[in-house]
Amino acid sequence: MRVVYVIDSVSRVGGAEQGLAAMAPLLVRAGVELHVAFLKESPGGFQEELRAAGATVHPVLRGSRRARVAALRGEFRRLRPDLVHTTLYESDVLGRAAALAARVPVVSSLVNSAYGPEHLHARGLSPWKVRAAQGVDALTAQGVRRFHALTDHVADAMAGRLRVPRRRIDVVPRGRDPQLLGSVTPQRRAQVRAALGLAEDVPVVLAAARQQYQKGLDVLVSAWPEVVAAHPDAVLLLAGSRGAETDRLEALAAGTANVRFLGPRDDVFDLMAAAEVFAVPSRWEGLGSAAMEAMGVGVPLVCADVPALRETVGSEDYALLVAPERPREFAGALVRALDERGEALVRAKAARARFLTRFTLHQVSGRMVEFYERALA
């Protein structure tokens, strides 16, 4: 089958882009003729990896939204795909409109639980703009043949918010290649710590996320002084690109010991293998790709207890779960994970086994091909 996958960008920052790049080789191997159209400049993105996987890449970068809809419609009429698959808001709205105009069946991925109370009150978001975006999303969603959601939580929430029947939403998580993730080994740990200038016995907590309100990094940084009070030599590593919360995070960290901003990294899996704890303090998630990756590496997890993260990690048998936006409780969980190392490693081992039964790239790509087949049927 021929599929045109429309996505906002192919940058290396977002989970949707990383998921597409990871899955592309397996989709092509399964017989999908994959074309990827993206709408925003993506210097240094996944273009070469997608081409190496066998996909054809189509930048659609014209200025106005109307122009990009027209360009997409032209591509769809030229390529005559069996399906158009859209992911992320801009691509959903424009890609759906273009697909319907070109009379091509369209499916969409639901990668986050948008338009809820947490978004209406989020720092930096205007409630009326959130509602306006929801209206446009819901309107264009009526022409979608089937939806793909990353979790049951997202499927249940978005069915109501987009006014589409829940039966039209299939749940398929993201996946990762266990060999690419690797595992925790003494040699890997030592090499990464040496490169960072960290001694072998220094307790390390890692978070890897964009510096945006959703990711709750301010909660983690606010919690850090209590962790340092219990472990004065502990180091907090923050890996991820700058964003709307960067200034706030840097101000919070200015009076806090042992916080290091690493910026964007292409070795996050190695960093995980060198850490005692991986922290995910998000206010909301669609799946929690970073938590899923940490499960695959085998590093102990402390996560905010938000619905999608609980669905991904499973239960407290696999990770310590803390109510969101509770810095003191989050600090307590981090200290517990550092103090009770044996317990933490038991949870990490169980979490890795859970990853291997649910989130490998081979399993997930097969389910995505089945999703395409259901949409065409």
* Model confidence pLDDT, tens digit, residues 112-138: 988 988 877 778 778 888 899 999 999
Backbone angles phi, psi at 260, to 5 degrees: -120, 125
Q: Which two structure tokens, joined as six digits, stand for 332? A: 């307590």
Q: What is the pLDDT of residue 13?
A: 83
User: CA-CA distance, 21 to 37, in Å (whole number)?
Assistant: 13
* Model confidence pLDDT, tens digit, residues 350-372: 999 999 999 999 999 999 999 99
User: CA-CA distance, 16 to 172, in Å (whole number)?
Assistant: 13
| Exposure class string for 315-352: b at 16+ Cβ within 10 A, else e | eeebbbbbebbbbebbbbbbbebbeeeeebbebbebbb
Q: What is the pLDDT of residue 289?
A: 93
Q: What is the pLDDT of residue 123?
A: 80
**216 and 329 in contact (C-beta within 8 Å)?**
no
Contact residues for 248 (Cβ-Cβ < 8 A; gap 6+): 218
Question: Other C-beta atoms within 10 Å of 235: how many?
Answer: 22
Q: What is the pLDDT of residue 88?
A: 95
The full set of domains in the chain, from first to last, is 2-175+360-376 (3.40.50.2000), 178-358 (3.40.50.2000)
Question: Other C-beta atoms within 10 Å of 231: how many?
Answer: 18
Question: Other C-beta atoms within 10 Å of 102: how many?
Answer: 20
**169 and 148 in contact (C-beta within 8 Å)?**
yes
* Model confidence pLDDT, tens digit, residues 140-196: 999 999 999 999 999 999 999 999 999 999 999 999 999 999 999 999 999 999 999
**279 and 221 in contact (C-beta within 8 Å)?**
no
Contact residues for 93 (Cβ-Cβ < 8 A; gap 6+): 65, 136, 137, 140
Q: How confident is the model at residue 61 (pLDDT cuts 50, 70, 90)?
A: confident
Residue 95 has pLDDT above 90, yes or no: yes
Residue 96 has pLDDT above 80, yes or no: yes
Contact residues for 357 (Cβ-Cβ < 8 A; gap 6+): none
Q: What is the pLDDT of residue 14?
A: 82
Q: How confident is the model at residue 256 (pLDDT cuts 50, 70, 90)?
A: confident
Q: What is the pLDDT of residue 120?
A: 76
Percent of the chain with pLDDT over 90: 91
Percent of the chain with pLDDT over 70: 100
Q: Which two structure tokens, joined as six digits, stand for 202? A: 């220094």
Report the mean per-residue pLDDT for the chain. 95
**79 and 4 in contact (C-beta within 8 Å)?**
yes
Q: What is the pLDDT of residue 15?
A: 86
Q: How confident is the model at residue 320 (pLDDT cuts 50, 70, 90)?
A: very high
Q: HSE, CB side, 13 Å, CA atoms: give it for residue 92.
A: 26
Residues 208-226 have a mean pLDDT of 96
Q: Of 82, 29, 79, 44, give the one whose Cα is nearest residue 58.
A: 79
**126: left (phi > 0), else alpha (psi -120 to 50), else beta?**
beta
Q: What is the pLDDT of residue 121?
A: 76
User: CA-CA distance, 17 to 1, in Å (whole number)?
Assistant: 22
Q: Of 48, 17, 25, give the one whose Cα is nearest residue 241.
A: 17
Q: How confident is the model at residue 201 (pLDDT cuts 50, 70, 90)?
A: very high
